[in-house]
Structure 1
Amino acid sequence: MTKLIFNQFTDADDNEILNEVKSIGDVDWASVSCSLKRPEYVVIQRAFQLGAIRFNDYNHVLISHRFDGWRSDEIDFLLDNVGKHSAKVIANAMGRSDASVRKQIYEFQLSCKKDRTWSEDELDILRDELNQHGTGHVAKKTDRKKIDVKHQAIKQGLSDGSIMLTLFGKRRSDNEVGTLA
């Protein structure tokens, strides 16, 4: 039996991200992405997990508002391996808990017997209707969960900041806290 291997971020990877954010301020994500050989949105998601960037500035590519939330590369790994390996084996490879993996299997409806690969028709609906109608509408039309729609929108490069992909919109800044809007 082959061992399941997930490409974890190393301490060196994390330090490169942190140093880039600290030294420049306006980060050249494409350069960091190229250096780490990972998609740009995954590097941004990791920077958020490390607390190096603010949610408000990058909510269009963040799957979760939580620092311990799942990244796109983790979801892709799960999608590639569910059904081939147990939740426990996947969790061990990823450094996640069994419960966390099982929750994602449920969220993405992976325990269903139907193929969860996005069809061209579903991708067309995503591209054509996301901007105007939002993730809830696309989720209903494609019979998918909102988290699945959000993940696919990020992977397809459809999230440019003008589309609210999360229920958690812009958070109030420190000087707005305590004031009524």
Structure 2
Amino acid sequence: MPSLNRRDLGLLVLRVGTGAVLAAHGTQKLFGWFGGPGLEGTAQGMEAMGFHPGRESAVAAGLGEAGGGALLALGLATPAAGAAAAGAMAGAVSVHLPAGFFNRAGGFEYPAFLGFTSAAIGVAGAGRYSLDHATDHRFDQPWVVAVAFLGSALAAAAVLGRRAKAQSGEQPQDTAEA
């Protein structure tokens, strides 16, 4: 049996801690667990914050947090998990940005920290004590890192751009209309 590796053990602790926090927040949004608003309440909140359509935005945010967090904690598909969680946190940062940096004043410190931590884990990989390691890194390839983070960045930019247009009074283009 190989000896314990401090770096891999540290990644395990960081992954599980960060993933658990994200998963808990996501399940608040999706299912109303842990005193959360549930999907309908989150959808209403998303609409009020300028994310349209609210229900789809709530599902995306909830899945980015709950799904990304659970996968981070397990160390499975770590690049995609980190990218999904970081993308969801980009949306949260945009909401808290007007209040400045510090969380005490309602600022973006906390979601930024979760986003950067998720991204760092996604880039660094899950380490030896993970399902990625157990599956010979099938879902943790260098190309997955690039594709996952590019996709997450493009999706976040599109969502945040649409929100900014809506907040400035411009009518966003509805892709559902013919």
Superposition TM-score, scaled by structure 1 size: 0.32
Of Structure 1 and Structure 2, which has the larger fraction of its residues in helix?
Answer: 2
Superposition TM-score, scaled by structure 2 size: 0.32
